[in-house]
Structure 1
């Protein structure tokens, strides 16, 4: 697996090196020779004695001992080269650029597996195959262009797609991003995104390691490892943003529960990222914008000052920030009046602070100093300054760069024009600046960064559940839906409050149960999936005569084999559900319950186990949260009891992974309690 020979080799051989720099073997050799690599470079080319000025061996057998091999030959020849290098030449790091492996056909996949076996047998590391290579501050082992500026404090970027990596690097370079490493993992035959994160985590050095990680992911093969190392890096002070493609996969499965209908693998990815503290981005433009924001000090509050010399972009940025739950607070008072006196007539300082197209570098300095020192309510400053087409603006960008370096508050530069001020922008970037070309994209990205939940501490506390009792119920159950009595056992063992209830399949038993529970009652059919659709729910049953009448009617409904009776409780209907989602484990959902879940689909999702803080954030993030708080005289739901129920459901499914999906819908919540009144649990072992 990953070792130091991959990052700091004493020698690198390019197998398939060529004089033709339009081919991968030629381009990677050129990039290697032009990189800071201090070690020995070798080439294997059967038809040439010298390639790009480097003496060439005709076969791998002729090579001396060499740490790292970059292979750019036809797939069918790769296994032989790997065997010789690994077993005879001491090679422990391999970068296979060649395609024609698992991405192509079964034969290619078999060849890929054999290569991995050989490399594993000597404790080697493999990047690829079918990749563009790896770029580090020690050497360039990729065949791509352009090559970004390298900086140990720059971005570590891991990509599951070589071409996408090129586009993202190119996009980031134009904004001023620098890179510490670029990994194109290709087929991820041995090293994928998870293994790369693991290495970055375990080798992290608080003084020397980069604190910014970008990911482009096409598949997450080991969610548990991914979460563990991503969360660990963020706890160490790193910031991570990621694009996970493939989010539009059709969830065309027949779902027998509300949870099943609302859940999907992409929702699980969302939950995974939130739990880890990763900012999820929708594309490469947003990813590099978020990376640019990461380059600046962290925004500590939601109040933003917008400094501009153009009205329209300021209005659009205000909209973007406001829609993202950030604030553009009004600025007024003596200090504001004092600042206004330093600007040209017609300027305004109310926020946005508009100092007109004729505004000068000196005036910008006054504004930034006031935002820094006089306006305590301001947490961050966005400066929109393009070209008014009147004069060069080198002095403006130079002053802005200086203020960015010295300000305690983050200052984000937005440069909306390029052609007319190309020289000014290039100088800003050469001097280490990172800028944002679009105010709306920046505003949306800043809001996304600010609103991404913080990673949970490692020592988060969870309530205890009766593990032995839960396992006893699960071990004794077969696949399919559990009977009500077994559901009751599970809920009781997990400490989830439930209504007094029972089931009856005879009239006499139904009457006896009604007397035991007490009136008023709720009666529901047992059997049909959507009870209310078939007239299978009756509320406010207050006497034995109604019990008998409704029992007889309900038993005539198709698929009904019994009737459930439960105490009728008062409160707002809420919902908690859970579903097993492949390697992600269980996702846990909550929201308003009853019919509202079908109509509004207003749910939030977490990945089990869900801590109390996570559950609280899920509940408070609901669009319907004000209903839970109580509006217009309506009794509120006890939020802490709701939180506890969500957490306990997550502990139940962690203890019983055989639970495929479960619904508590509804639970009734009032100011005193949150109690489950209906539940479905399906087992798949």
Structure 2
């Protein structure tokens, strides 16, 4: 249950607030203040009258009515605090940061159950426990750093793990990826990944809401619900990428001890993601890179031009794209020679287009113009430009900025010198762009996106399916639930599923002859009766 009080609370209390910003209760209060929260902010600390300039109360019983409570106190204290706030202070949203619940002990699981019973009784939202919190454009109720740039057109991140959410943000911020909301669901006692997706799907506003969702999942509690709402969002124009961790035996054990997650087989996860249209990723870097690609104009084809002044990265990117089924077509003929004549001697235009280390911003502009306007077999451009520190890159990156504003073909900026050209990269990102510092990771991400299937159609297709016959067969199955082999075959036939041809006979010699005609270098013998109902046939034991 996701309430308005969780998303847009008019008042927030931090229970366990501290003046020590290195503690969760102090850090989350600091983030709320620095984030410019506009509502009433309160603190509960029995030893202070004021915490970080915020009025403090000795006990939750002294509080006025409050929309959202953030708990940073020991697990054993949480159930009573939640009960008091929900029953007497009209609190309808809770974020519990504390660990020590069902992910650790049976006693902790019982504490979780008490909390869940209370919040459900009063129609309240619960995030956690065992999480870093929730932040959106309204309030920054997290105790962690970094706080990314937040705006309504940024990315929605939903993570089972709080620490992983932090590290995803670290990766994203360096790339310039911006966010709309960050959800750390922790143990997901009430609200899990599927619940957040369902809320986003059922309340989706294409004009106001983010069109990009990134997921880190440790437990898929309800695969059908995840499939339904993820594919629904994608059909509405959203793009979704996800990591499913804990699919191996050892990984599932680690996930269970972390957030109490239940394992899912890797093949089942793969099938689910492909049917939903989710782009599957396997690392934080892949996930944030895919998220950055999602922010750029959509690809209309698989042909890429690589424009660079460094040969090696161009070669590695060519390999990465080719391995992913994408193309780096050779550029040749009159147009290619025409372009080459306008570059420095020694420049190559066969693709990659290498303008040399001495290439100028005007050379970059010229190459982009040829790819945009003249090379018809090019669908998108990759621009790899860094520096060894001998020159600044401001003018080169200004050309990229200018062309990314006007070109119809996507341009992927690969700016690897995040230290040597740190100021230039920062200025480029400040203009609202993203940066792909590693060309191979970008190539891998693009291949995952391009090769991800569209969501499966939600309607059930019944072409070639004999539904009445299927019903008759099912009704004839004994009450013990055992299905004879001939009934299984009958069901498959009725469903229009092709089967291997069979020879119907109870004569051993005829069966052996048939087996030999089929090319079996073996003897086949009858080991079961002939069935003449819906399909008929014999049970064979091939030796």
- Distance in 2, Cα, partners of 1:278 & 1:5: 30
What is the Cα deviation at residue 101 of structure 1? Answer: 1.0
- Matched ranges for 1:472-487 at <5 A: 472-474=472-474, 476-477=477-478, 482-487=483-488
What is the Cα deviation at residue 679 of structure 1? Answer: 10
- Distance in 1, Cα, partners of 2:523 & 2:116: 67
What is the Cα deviation at residue 418 of structure 1? Answer: 2.3
The CA deviation string for residues 402-433 of structure 1, in whole angstroms up to 9 with x for no partner, is: 21121111100111222211111111112211
Counterpart of 2:440 in structure 1 is 440
Change (3 A) 1:497 1:165: closer
Counterpart of 1:8 in structure 2 is 8
Structure 1 residue 522 and structure 2 residue 515: aligned?
Answer: yes
What is the Cα deviation at residue 83 of structure 1? Answer: 0.9
Change (3 A) 1:354 1:540: closer
Counterpart of 1:77 in structure 2 is 77
- Asked if the contact 2:388/2:420 (under 8 Å) is kept, the reply is no
Name the TM-score, length of structure 1 as normaliser.
0.73
- Asked if the contact 1:27/1:143 (under 8 Å) is kept, the reply is yes
Counterpart of 1:92 in structure 2 is 92
Counterpart of 1:318 in structure 2 is 318
* Between 484-493 and 347-356, the greater mean CA deviation after superposition: 484-493
What is the Cα deviation at residue 151 of structure 1? Answer: 1.4
Counterpart of 1:187 in structure 2 is 187
- Distance in 1, Cα, partners of 2:391 & 2:540: 70
Counterpart of 1:418 in structure 2 is 418
Change (3 A) 1:112 1:83: same
- Distance in 2, Cα, partners of 1:286 & 1:246: 17
The CA deviation string for residues 533-583 of structure 1, in whole angstroms up to 9 with x for no partner, is: xxxxx8459xxxx9xx956xx47xxxxx44889xxxxxxxxxxxxxxxxxx
Structure 1 residue 493 and structure 2 residue 486: aligned?
Answer: no
5+ long unaligned stretches in structure 2: 252-263, 532-536
- Distance in 1, Cα, partners of 2:118 & 2:205: 31
Change (3 A) 1:449 1:540: closer
Counterpart of 1:147 in structure 2 is 147
SS at 1:144's partner residue? coil
What is the Cα deviation at residue 249 of structure 1? Answer: 2.5
What is the Cα deviation at residue 677 of structure 1? Answer: 11
- Distance in 1, Cα, partners of 2:321 & 2:519: 48
SS at 1:489's partner residue? helix
Change (3 A) 1:29 1:486: same
Counterpart of 2:167 in structure 1 is 167
- Asked if the contact 2:217/2:242 (under 8 Å) is kept, the reply is yes
Structure 1 residue 287 and structure 2 residue 269: aligned?
Answer: no
Counterpart of 1:558 in structure 2 is none
- Distance in 1, Cα, partners of 2:496 & 2:363: 63
- Distance in 1, Cα, partners of 2:497 & 2:267: 25
What is the Cα deviation at residue 276 of structure 1? Answer: 0.8
Structure 1 or 2: larger strand share?
1
- Distance in 2, Cα, partners of 1:178 & 1:678: 62
5+ long unaligned stretches in structure 1: 252-263, 524-537, 556-560, 566-675, 681-685
The CA deviation string for residues 481-525 of structure 1, in whole angstroms up to 9 with x for no partner, is: 844422332233223344243364xxxx446xx4xx9x96127xx
The CA deviation string for residues 13-38 of structure 1, in whole angstroms up to 9 with x for no partner, is: 11111111111000000101111311
The CA deviation string for residues 218-272 of structure 1, in whole angstroms up to 9 with x for no partner, is: 0100001101110011111111110100122379xxxxxxxxxxxx821010011
SS at 2:307's partner residue? strand
- Distance in 2, Cα, partners of 1:564 & 1:324: 51
Change (3 A) 1:464 1:116: farther
How many correspondences in the alignment?
Answer: 523
- Distance in 1, Cα, partners of 2:432 & 2:452: 27
The CA deviation string for residues 460-493 of structure 1, in whole angstroms up to 9 with x for no partner, is: 6442533444344445257798444223322332
2:504 to 497, 502, 505: 502
Change (3 A) 1:503 1:128: farther
* Structure 1 stretches of at least 4 aligned residues deviating more than 6 Å after TM superposition: 478-481, 676-680
- Asked if the contact 1:36/1:137 (under 8 Å) is kept, the reply is no
- Distance in 2, Cα, partners of 1:550 & 1:363: 74
- Distance in 2, Cα, partners of 1:290 & 1:204: 22
Counterpart of 1:178 in structure 2 is 178
Counterpart of 1:39 in structure 2 is 39
Counterpart of 2:255 in structure 1 is none
Name the TM-score, length of structure 2 as normaliser.
0.91
Counterpart of 2:353 in structure 1 is 353
Counterpart of 1:260 in structure 2 is none
* Between 400-409 and 329-338, the greater mean CA deviation after superposition: 329-338
Change (3 A) 1:163 1:497: closer
Give RMSD over aligned pairs.
2.6
- Distance in 2, Cα, partners of 1:23 & 1:497: 63
What is the Cα deviation at residue 171 of structure 1? Answer: 0.7
- Distance in 2, Cα, partners of 1:363 & 1:496: 59
- Matched ranges for 1:195-214 at <5 A: 195-214=195-214
Change (3 A) 1:249 1:468: farther
Change (3 A) 1:228 1:144: same
What is the Cα deviation at residue 339 of structure 1? Answer: 1.6
- Distance in 2, Cα, partners of 1:155 & 1:136: 10
- Distance in 1, Cα, partners of 2:504 & 2:418: 72
Change (3 A) 1:170 1:564: farther
- Distance in 2, Cα, partners of 1:64 & 1:389: 59
Change (3 A) 1:423 1:540: closer
- Distance in 1, Cα, partners of 2:339 & 2:478: 74
Counterpart of 1:387 in structure 2 is 387
- Distance in 1, Cα, partners of 2:178 & 2:250: 37
- Distance in 1, Cα, partners of 2:383 & 2:540: 54
- Distance in 2, Cα, partners of 1:540 & 1:197: 53
- Distance in 1, Cα, partners of 2:123 & 2:215: 26
- Distance in 1, Cα, partners of 2:189 & 2:28: 21
Change (3 A) 1:503 1:6: farther
Counterpart of 1:606 in structure 2 is none
- Distance in 2, Cα, partners of 1:163 & 1:497: 49
Counterpart of 2:302 in structure 1 is 302
Counterpart of 2:232 in structure 1 is 232
- Asked if the contact 2:528/2:540 (under 8 Å) is kept, the reply is no
- Distance in 2, Cα, partners of 1:151 & 1:384: 28
- Distance in 2, Cα, partners of 1:5 & 1:25: 20
- Distance in 2, Cα, partners of 1:242 & 1:104: 26
- Matched ranges for 1:502-581 at <5 A: 502=504, 504=506, 509-510=507-508, 514=510, 521-522=514-515, 539=518, 554=525, 561-562=527-528
